[in-house]
């Protein structure tokens, strides 16, 4: 499962900290993490994309029937086809959303098993374990600080009720001593877990939810600390 987790990071780079230096780890949850868990319909985006592509192609081919005016009709037809195809694709994709009853059960399971406090502590623990191998882990506010903000947690579902976990974290390194005149650069990380059937997510008799969250936190921690060491 860990091998199938995908992650990406966006610029800018983290402020470098020399190995062996004292480093504090601070983890918090952003204000949006307390909102109801979002479950995005992955089929909707796929439907819009497929519909728009098909519509644009069909519209462009129709434009070829204009004879000498094809140079005008082709782009107009492609644009009209893209819009109508995208709208049709959205209608088809919307049918792939999880039913309200199942979505409510899934939200309840995750909020019960993985409250925000558990997620914050899990991320802090994973990062701290890696920091210890290269820096001196301290609890001194005056020391250089790796600040992690758990910004968003959501799920993605498919038409056949496959569900994946998505985790977003923002990382920032604040140098030791006085605060700089401008905030240090922050970097955002996103981890997308593997798809799994909805019944697996809802099964109270397994540890799938806990394992999924642990793997996501481990992946984020490995990327953040790994990039800090590439100096």
Q: Which tokens go with 51?
A: 């519909």
Q: How large is the average pLDDT for residues 1-25?
A: 69
Helix (H, G, I), strand (E, B) or coil at 15: coil
CATH architecture, domain defined by 6-41+98-228 = 2-Layer Sandwich (3.30)
* Element holding 9 (H helix, E strand): strand 6-9
Q: What is the pTM of this model?
A: 0.69
Q: Which tokens go with 74?
A: 């082709």
Query: Which part of the chain is CATH 3.30.160?
Result: 6-41+98-228
Q: What is the pLDDT of residues 199-230, one digit of tens each?
A: 999 999 999 999 999 999 999 999 999 888 65
Q: What is the pLDDT of residues 142-182, one digit of tens each?
A: 999 999 999 888 999 998 999 999 999 999 998 887 666 67
Q: How far apart are CA 226 and CA 216, in angstroms?
A: 15
């Amino acid at each position: 499962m860990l091998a199938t987790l995908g992650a990406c990071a966006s610029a800018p780079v983290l402020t470098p900290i020399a190995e062996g230096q004292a480093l504090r780890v601070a983890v918090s949850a952003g204000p949006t993490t307390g909102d109801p868990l979002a479950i995005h319909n992955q089929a909707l985006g796929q439907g819009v994309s497929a519909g728009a592509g098909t519509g644009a192609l069909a519209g462009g081919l129709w434009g070829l029937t204009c004879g000498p005016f094809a140079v005008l009709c082709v782009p107009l037809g492609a644009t009209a086809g893209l819009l109508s195809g995208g709208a049709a694709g959205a209608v088809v994709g919307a049918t792939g959303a999880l039913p309200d009853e199942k979505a409510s059960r899934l939200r309840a399971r995750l909020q019960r098993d993985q409250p925000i406090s558990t997620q914050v502590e899990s991320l802090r623990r994973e990062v701290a374990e890696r920091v210890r191998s290269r820096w001196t882990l301290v609890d001194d506010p005056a020391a250089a600080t790796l600040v992690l903000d758990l910004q968003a947690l959501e799920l993605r579902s498919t038409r056949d009720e496959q569900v994946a976990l998505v985790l977003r974290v923002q990382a920032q390194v604040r140098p030791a001593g006085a605060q700089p005149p401008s905030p240090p650069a922050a970097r955002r990380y996103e981890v997308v877990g593997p798809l799994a059937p909805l019944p697996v997510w809802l099964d109270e008799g397994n540890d799938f939810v806990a394992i999924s969250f642990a793997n996501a936190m481990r992946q984020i921690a490995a990327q953040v600390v790994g990039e800090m060491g590439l100096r």
